Amino acid sequence: MAVNCTAVRDRAVPLLHGQNLGALTAASSDDIFLSFNLGAEELAKLRLFGQVATPAVTSGNPLVAAPTRHVATLYAAWLAAGTWARLPRISRARLEALDPAYRTRTGATPTHLVEELEAGAMRVYPTPTANLTLLLIYLERRADVSTGSPTLAAEPPVADYLLYRAIGDARRRNADEGMADVAAFCDEQAQLYAALFRAYSGR
């Protein structure tokens, strides 16, 4: 199931008082797609977009690049003798308290995963002495949509959420034209959809 964001943009045109996309003054097509992408980033935080990755960890190097568009790891495991063994996540501060030499500690069996996302990486502890395969179940941000790539894999009501986000953003830019109340209305509708998505995506 996918949302065609070009169709959603076209729905926005008359609602923004445009006769057609070219004549639209409240927002450009790029503005509308920007709102879609900002909205999709918010949806990522509501656990709407899950993904699986199996990155390889090289012996002697504890760091592995975080998957592209990674938001948060939900579950991590490593492949131990053909079975996935859980790799609990731990904060860097807690690991440092447990083992001040955690950066240089080596071992054959990884016990923890530290998300060093400011560096776009994840650290396996202790530093593995053999090559490993990880399994990550994580939340991701979707790739940006654009006129050339307008499809967002999501359920149909997501289209309505994105529509309200785009109209709200456009009307906020034109708030001096008396459209602030429309922006507020659209924000309320987007919040309602977000509450609904949150209610059903928690499992």
Partner 1 sequence: MTFSAMRTEVLRRLGENPSTPVWYTAAEAGEALNEAHRLFALAALSVEKTATIALPAATPILASRPLLAAMLAPLRIYTAAGSRVRPASLETLAGRDSRFLNAEDEPRFYALVGGLLIVTPQPAAPLDLSVTYAASPTDMAADSSTPEIPDEDHGALIERAFYTLVSVKEGASRRTEAEPAQQAFVRAVEARAALVRSRALSMDYDTQPFELGRYFNGR
Binding site for partner 1 (CB under 8 A): 1, 11, 14-15, 17, 47-52, 74-75, 77, 83-86, 135, 137, 139-140, 153, 155-157, 160, 163, 167, 178-179, 181-182, 185-186, 189, 192-193, 195-196, 199-203
If phi > 0 it is left, if psi is from -120 to 50 it is alpha, else beta; for residue 123 that is beta
d(CA 77, CA 111): 10
Closest to partner 1 by CB, 96 or 173: 173
β-pairing verdict for 70-80 and 3-4: unpaired
Closest to partner 1 by CB, 76 or 114: 76
DSSP H helix total and E strand total for the chain: 5, 12
Compute the least distance from the CB of residue 36 to partner 1, in Å. 16
Closest to partner 1 by CB, 97 or 137: 137
Strand positions, DSSP E, the chain: 3-4, 50-53, 56-57, 63-65, 70-80, 83-86, 106-107, 112-116, 121-125, 127-128, 132-140, 151-152
Closest to partner 1 by CB, 119 or 195: 195
Phi, psi of 101 (to 5 degrees): -100, 30
Cis before residue 157, ω within 30 degrees of 0?
A: no
Closest to partner 1 by CB, 102 or 193: 193
Compute the least distance from the CB of residue 194 to partner 1, in Å. 11
Compute the least distance from the CB of residue 114 to partner 1, in Å. 18
Compute the least distance from the CB of residue 68 to partner 1, in Å. 15
Closest to partner 1 by CB, 11 or 173: 11
Compute the least distance from the CB of residue 147 to partner 1, in Å. 20
Q: What would the two tokens of residue 174 be?
A: 């034109």
Compute the least distance from the CB of residue 96 to partner 1, in Å. 24
